[in-house]
Amino acid sequence: MNELNDVKIHRGLKEIYLDRTKSSYIDGKNGKLYYRGFNINELANNSTFEEVSYLLIHGTLPNKSQLDEITTWMANSRDIPNEIINLIDSIKHLHPMDVLRTAISTLAAFDESLEDDSIEANVKKGLSITAKAPTIVTAHIRLREGKAPIVPEKSLSHAANFLYMLFGVIPDELDAKLIDKDLILHAEHGLNASSFTARVVASTQSDMYSAITAGIACLKGPAHGGAAEGVMKQAQEIGDEKNTVNYVKNLLSSGGRIMGFGHRVYKTADPRALILKIDAKNLSDRKGNPKWFAILQSLADCMEPYEKKGICENVDFWTGAIYNLLDIPDDIFVSIFALARIPGWTAQIAEQFSNNILIRPLLAYVGELEKPYIKIEDRK
């Protein structure tokens, strides 16, 4: 046991490099994010989610014919089996992330290529899951409201179709573009907790469905994916921007935490938050509802002194306001995060498959050894 006393423990594996990757790069010191070498600002302002999905999974930007092909293929892959609809209906009382996790896992039973572990087959599985996931999330919301799920509209973009299936009307073009940008910004982000989880599963030579299901299960945790919902709950508790200072003071003095601030990697402003802040302001003006932006801006102002400690607004801070202004139910905020992240998970899972090694860290045992076994009748 003495040899374990000197072992250096890296709790949370903080700042530990597990492997090398080409999928994304986070420059936490300077607040920059790159997908396959492309700056996130360029992609968010010029690309589409379908194009970024191609980029993450294939490693290069598609030409026009390649983009048309993947866009059409994904649009044609949105339908889910009736058995999945029935499953969703039977568990519609659960949290949307529980439903999404269960439905994605069950989809594997309907994939004839499940046992095909070729690169081509795994890429198709990831894209198929990407295409079907919005159908699952929106079907659940409709069913729990006593409404019939809406059949996907192939003529709409991935983002626009999501809003269409959620609300039953063709969405405003600017609203659809905003959701498209939001999906791009959430599509990939290094070796975060859910990507690590997906890689661990992939390292055992399991299948794409299992790895993505594991990623969804991990993302459900509030320490990873639930901050956007938490931000809006706090904004609703504040109620009015004049209450913000006292709210922050009381919460922090009692040991509470202001949601939407701080990040394990970024030591300065999250570049995704800077993009979405502008969009949140424009959306609040366009919808004629400045209340939530004003509250969040006052919250950001109160937290400004903490920026020197590296505690800045993260992507979730403004995401919640955008979803709220679009009338998206609070409890599917993290589900949208999952919908966006599937291409990133797919890219990392495929990367793990291509250069695999079993991920199997160690734990330093600190308990007793050689304890005597006492028969049940002799125990006190």
Which residues are known catalytic residues?
263, 316
How far apart (Å, rounded) are the C-alpha atoms in residues 130 and 176?
Answer: 17
82 contacts: CB under 8 Å, gap ≥ 6? none
- Residues in CB range of 70: below 8 A, 6 or more apart: 50, 53, 54, 62, 127
Q: How many CB atoms lie within 10 A of CB 138?
A: 25
Distances (CA, A) of 250 to 215, 225, 239, 255, 314: 35, 25, 15, 9, 22
In the numeric block, which tokens belong to residue 358?
A: 């079993």
**Residue partners of 65: CB distance under 8 A and separation at least 6:** none
